[in-house]
Every structure is written in structure tokens, then in C-alpha cells.
Copies of this chain bind each other. A is one copy, B any other.
């Protein structure tokens, strides 16, 4: 069966689930999304593309940005990065301060909020005021998109309601694991979360992770093969907060979700996928998106396991 048919089957089969899940209410700007939106994109290493749903719809990439920030920090610092952020699953909800205090300000991994704030701080140490521009240009490059925007309203909304993240960054600063001004780091962090992309752009943007670190469309080397392997393993073990085990269990692909409703996933050596549906399950991941990817690996047998 061809991929287009499979995507269409998935789109059909997830219909009954749209009434489930909830739009996130802690960021008012996200609550306005249309709960029934759905889009899914698949791009192979050969550049073949398959899409269903309204793939023009842009949404804020939120925590998917953590993949790019981590990639950049890994490029800048190599293994030294692991002195400041771990690579173990957290076993706790994504915004937990408990574990962070217990472990003296060293976040468990770069895909929980605390960890992504630390990798952002690493970038700010290097790029200062230009940090967001660096991240932004990197994302444009890997997504093969010349024209991206970030949403001011979402950015301001996150900034105004980001008390948890402010608690995290202040605590890490008290443990000397934040090197720069809190204000600059947190704004850089929230800005990258507010970048607006569609499923086609996002699927493109993680193709390098499906191809040993090389963008297959233009042969540009982004990271080394071992680095690509490690980013993928981190996505598998830590990419979905407190539901990472469940995602590995049911979908069986390295992936990363965002509260904006997007999920990217990678089939190593084969393809990249992105699905969008804004209502979330109780762990904060797209409910329909997770199911769509589960159906995909069930139908295709493309799970890594």
C-alpha cells in the first residue's frame, strides 16, 4: 500500500477522536486554535512528499524547538554540554521542580523545559543578543524555508504566564547552572517556542535526523552520524515528557511533541513525519497526533522495534 493511501486511511480513522483531548489553557493564545484541525506530512529521504489535511495551517512549534536548540548547543559544545544537562528520562511531569532541586540544578535531559532553558543559555553564552537569530536561521535552513515568522502574541502570552519557567530558570541560576541574564535567556527561549510552522516545513526540518545528520535534499551536513543517533535516542526516551515510554511503546519512533499540537517523528534511514492536531492528552501531547503516528507504524511496520 502506498504512503498516500495510508495517510488518508489514518485521517479517516482518527475522526472519532477529535472530540477527545483539550486545548491548553495556560497559554491563552493557544486556546484559540481550532480543535478539529488536522494535517500530516511525510517526506522520504528521496524528497518524495505525501500530505493529508490542511498542511498550510501554521502553528507554534513550542517544544519541537528543543530539538533544534539542542542540535545547535551540541554543535557548539560537544560532549561538554553534558556537564550542564543530562540525557536520562525524567520520569516526572515536564515542568517538575522537584527533580531539578534534588539533582542540584542539572536538568535530566534537554527535552524537558529546564533542560531546554539550559541549552538556550548555552547558546546565549556564545551568541548573546544574536542567539534567537541564530536559532531562527538554523530552523529556516533545516526546513528549507526562506520565510518564517514567530508569533508576537503567543510570545507575549507565554512571557506573561510563564511563572513555572521563571521558577525553573531562577532555581537553576541559584545552582549556578545559568550563566546569563535571566531576562535575555527566557525571552530567547519563549521566542523560539513561538515560531510558526506547518507540517510540511517541520517534516523537512528533521530529515537530517533520519539521514545520519545530513540533509538529504541538499547534502548539507548538519551533525555527525553519532550526534544524529544520539539526538534520535533522546527523542525516543525523552521526547514526550511523562508519556515518553508510552509513545515508544505504541508508536516506536523517535519523536518530539509541542503543546502547540505538533509532533515530529523520524524513521531512521527512511523518512521524516509531522502531524498536527491541537487538542492535547493529559500528558500535554497532541492526542490525535499520537494516535495518527501509532496507526502509521502499525500499518507500515516501520517501528524501530
Which residues on A are within 8 Å of B, measured CB to CB? 86-92, 96-99, 101-102, 108-109, 163-164, 166-168, 170-171, 173-174, 226, 228-230, 232-234, 236-238, 242-246, 248-249, 252, 254, 268, 298, 303-305
Assess whether A233 is in contact with B305, with CB atoms less than 8 Å apart.
Answer: yes
Assess whether B164 is in contact with A167, with CB atoms less than 8 Å apart.
Answer: no
Assess whether B89 is in contact with A89, with CB atoms less than 8 Å apart.
Answer: yes
Given A91-B90, A91-B108, A245-B88, also A236-B305 (CB < 8 A): yes
Tell me how far the C-beta of A77 lies from the nearest C-beta in chain B, rounded to whole angstroms: 16
**Chain B residue with Cβ nearest A109:** B245
Assess whether B88 is in contact with A246, with CB atoms less than 8 Å apart.
Answer: yes
Given A97-B101, A236-B236, also A305-B170 (CB < 8 A): no
Give the distance in Å from the alpha carbon of A232 to the alpha carbon of B244 in the complex.
Answer: 14
Assess whether B268 is in contact with A304, with CB atoms less than 8 Å apart.
Answer: yes
Q: Is the interface of A mostly helix, strand, loop or mixed?
A: helix
Q: Of B91, B108, B230, B233, which is within 8 A of A99 by CB?
A: B91
- Residues of B near A109 (CB, < 8 A) are 245
Beyond A88-B89, A97-B101, A234-B249, list 15 extra A-B contacts (CB 8 Å): A89-B89, A89-B237, A90-B91, A91-B92, A97-B97, A97-B167, A98-B98, A166-B166, A167-B168, A230-B305, A233-B303, A234-B248, A237-B244, A237-B245, A237-B248
Assess whether A97 is in contact with B98, with CB atoms less than 8 Å apart.
Answer: yes
**Chain B residue with Cβ nearest A99:** B91
Give the distance in Å from the alpha carbon of A98 to the alpha carbon of B87 in the complex.
Answer: 21
Q: Of B87, B102, B171, which is within 8 A of A167 by CB?
A: B171
